[in-house]
Amino acid sequence: MLIDFVWKKSEVNILPSIPAVQLRHAGGKIGADSKLIKGDNLAVLKHLSEDGGLKGMVDMIYIDPPFATNNIFRIGEGRANSISSSKSDRIAYDDSLNGMEYLEFLRERFVLLKQLLSGQGSIYVHIDYKIGHYVKIVMDDVFGEENYINDISRVKCNPKNFSRVGFGNVKDLILFYSKSGDPIWNEPREKMDEQQMERLFRKSEADGRRYTTVPLHAPGETENGETGQPWRGMKPPKGRHWRSPPSELERLDKTGLIEWSKNGVPRRKIYADENTGRKVQDVIEYKDPQNPSYPTEKNINLLKLFIAASSNPNSIVLDCFCGSGTTLKAAQELGRRWIGIDQSDEAIRIALQRLRKEQSTPHASAAFEYLEAVPAVAESASDLSSMETTTSHPKKMREALRAALSE
């Protein structure tokens, strides 16, 4: 699908329009596989793709970008609540971009993220219910409709009782795409509790082993294949086929794994002690933290679910709107390498604090390097000095970042 709008650049014109940057070591372990980078993510993504040797190397991307809410999110001492913020609080990030300009802002980053994805890579984009459907069209344009996998609904909070026309909003959504038709996929399963197990596995063998039974056939007819052929003089019901070839059904029956009803209907036995849990569905509940360290901070277990499903140990996980570093912390705990990017002073300060604490744990990927993006032409001390004055409180922030690195 191709879309067109007034702000849209052709893909060949996107890269030349992005200013070149270089990455300057600012803390942590030099050359570590995992990296936290302060800078404009568009310029940093271009650098990682063209000069950083990471084109086609990233297995999993998760981003939680601004939602085009036209809000300014603030953070105060001991409080990072986007609803109860004060105008005297420090600005965490500005979410004032909207409309077609906002969609092009995302699209340019999608183009670069696609370059960085490996052939088995996937991307998860966390977005809200107001803008999400427009973002899906942009992702179809960049990644291809054929690579769309899921629209995952996440229950984010308790029920709302606001007095306004409309149903209460308790969810947001995550758009899940792959780069190709063969992404990494480690099937996530949800463990069932004892009550659920008893309800599902109602039957018992003589030795007390619990089981249930399922049909031997599945929807869809097979015209010429083995699974459409008769077994024990029976054909599959109309409109269905055997789940296994007759030879396999014969083996299952001989080993006692098929149960015959009084009416002569065969069903496959499934044992409780072999159950690996239920397949995770596309409606999930991972509520936001009650006391976040940063506005819009997400539940770390949500990130662990996605990272475990779409990457392998030692894969590279990337988040170019990394905020307080929840994606990075989740990746560390799962033994992945990671790259986090953000330009917010407050985000970097908090991420550094969280990640430094993680280094005291036994996680293999806890060592990381902190880098700052500087203009590629900034070679002299005066150039670098002038660049540092671009933050809202440069002296204060440099002191805060140094403190975070030394903790």
72 strand-pairing partners: 94
pLDDT of the residue at 226? 93
pLDDT digits 0-9 by tens, 165-219: 888 889 999 999 999 999 999 999 998 888 989 999 999 999 999 999 999 999 9
Evaluate if pTM is beyond 0.85: no
Could you read off the pLDDT of 151-162 as tens digits, one per residue? 999 999 888 777
* Predicted local confidence at residue 2, as pLDDT: 64
Domain-wise residue ranges, the chain: 11-188+280-406, 193-274
Q: What percent of the chain has pLDDT over 70?
A: 81
DSSP per position, 322-388: -TTTHHHHHHHHTT-EEEEEE--HHHHHHHHHHHHHHTTS--TT--EEEEEEEETT--SHHHHHHHH
Tell the CATH superfamily of the 11-188+280-406 domain: Vaccinia Virus protein VP39 (3.40.50.150)
Residue 19 has pLDDT above 70, yes or no: yes
pLDDT of residue 386: 40
- In the predicted structure, residue 89 carries a pLDDT above the cut 70: no
Average pLDDT for residues 17-26, to the nearest whole number?
A: 95
pLDDT in tens, 53-68: 999 999 999 999 985 5
Question: How high is the mean pLDDT of the chain?
Answer: 85
pLDDT band at 143 (very low <50, low <70, confident <90, very high): very high
DSSP-assigned letters across all residues of 225-260: SGGGS-BTTBPPPTTEEESS-HHHHHHHHHTT-EEE
Neighbouring-strand partners of residue 204: 210
Pick from 61-70, 81-90, 200-209, 355-364: least confident: 81-90
